[in-house]
Structure 1
Amino acid sequence: MANTHVFDGGNYVEVDRKANVGDLIVITNDSTFPRENNGKIGKVEFAIGNGISVNIGEGLDYYPHVFTGEYRVLEPLETVDESQASPQVIDMLANLARRVTSLELQLRDTQRNVETFAEQTEKNSEGIRELDERTQSLTRKQVKIDPPTITECYISFSHDGITNLDVSFVGKPSVEELVKVFTQSLNGGKRR
């Protein structure tokens, strides 16, 4: 949740945005002067390059330079006439203001994440298109596989439990030779 501050009798909430001339800011990350200025509140007098010049008082007329990212802008909370509102209502409004600010920050982060995701998706899509173009020229190479060659064949056959036929072939037996062997076996092993 965003931090709230009381300054000159007003309630303010920190927001993360670029400060404009006249805005109140709180120094959050002072890198140019002693860090003792962190937490000090001042009014933006003018913009300088990548930062702002701020009047923080306390004997210093102007804070010479606060870089972007070293401050948060203070926006006033809705003013409530405290005589007409209970402390619980004032606390509730302050909490709601903090929640709104927190949700705004979450929304900004989510939008940034969506933009990053969209950029990455586009890069991935380009890579996929490039790979698709590169693989379009590739075709499947058809390979012809010859049937296996039988170089030696041994057949053992028993027709009636008594007649056995054992045949060996060297090379590839033809269908006619196989028919001849089986026919011989069926005829009792005698050649015809």
Structure 2
Amino acid sequence: MTNIHVFPDEKLGGVLREYVEVDRAANVGDKIVIVNPSTFQFGDDYTQGTIMTVVKAYEDGDVYCEKFDIINKYEYQTLEPTSIVHIDGVRYRMVGRNAKVGEKVIVVEANGSLVYRNVGEVVEIIKTDGSSFGGLLNPHDFGEKGAIYHFQYLVLEPIDDESPKTTEDLIANLARRVAELEKRVKIIDVYNDELIDRMNDAEEKIERALDDIVDLEERTQPLEALVKAVKSGE
């Protein structure tokens, strides 16, 4: 099972985006998901699957998030954003190329001096054109409100099925599978550590029991000798 999480991307204007779990130390601003919750944390909102933002990161991989104590690097997986977004119930892949008439694009660069001022706006291209200023070619595409420049957008390509179509898909799928295997290995390591601890504890108890038996034998030897002496004098 692939570990995909879908939630709004604030950097993309709140558009729903797919994230994949990767096994690396998180940085400040990264999203993480709890995969092995610690018993030292408190609160109903600290459970497996909890998603939060890192506000402080340490060199050893531990992180700090608001409302929680330090989160150990073994407790979480870092969430990497993919190129896949969900808009009006449809999955799209964001692709960096020039748009064609009839295609939809999403604004990823915007400011107050441009027609499309908000990141995350979706524009349907109805015409393409280009104009030259001072010998520089400034290609732009016209949406319903006016020009949107190529540097502003990514093309939205609908995803028809789940089969990988690009190298990026293959890498993303491989990363998800590796992350899943690494998570399973961590769980196995935890169980192995617990089993080793239990075995060591059992060995210690057996050694103590053997010592008790030897001590009991040493204590009963005089009694056995006395019984033998009494019996021989009968």
Report the TM-score range of the alignment, normalised by the length of the smaller protein. 0.3 to 0.5
Query: Which protein is richer in strand relative to its size?
Result: 2
Q: How high is the TM-score relative to the length of structure 1?
A: 0.43
Q: Max radius of gyration: which structure?
A: 1
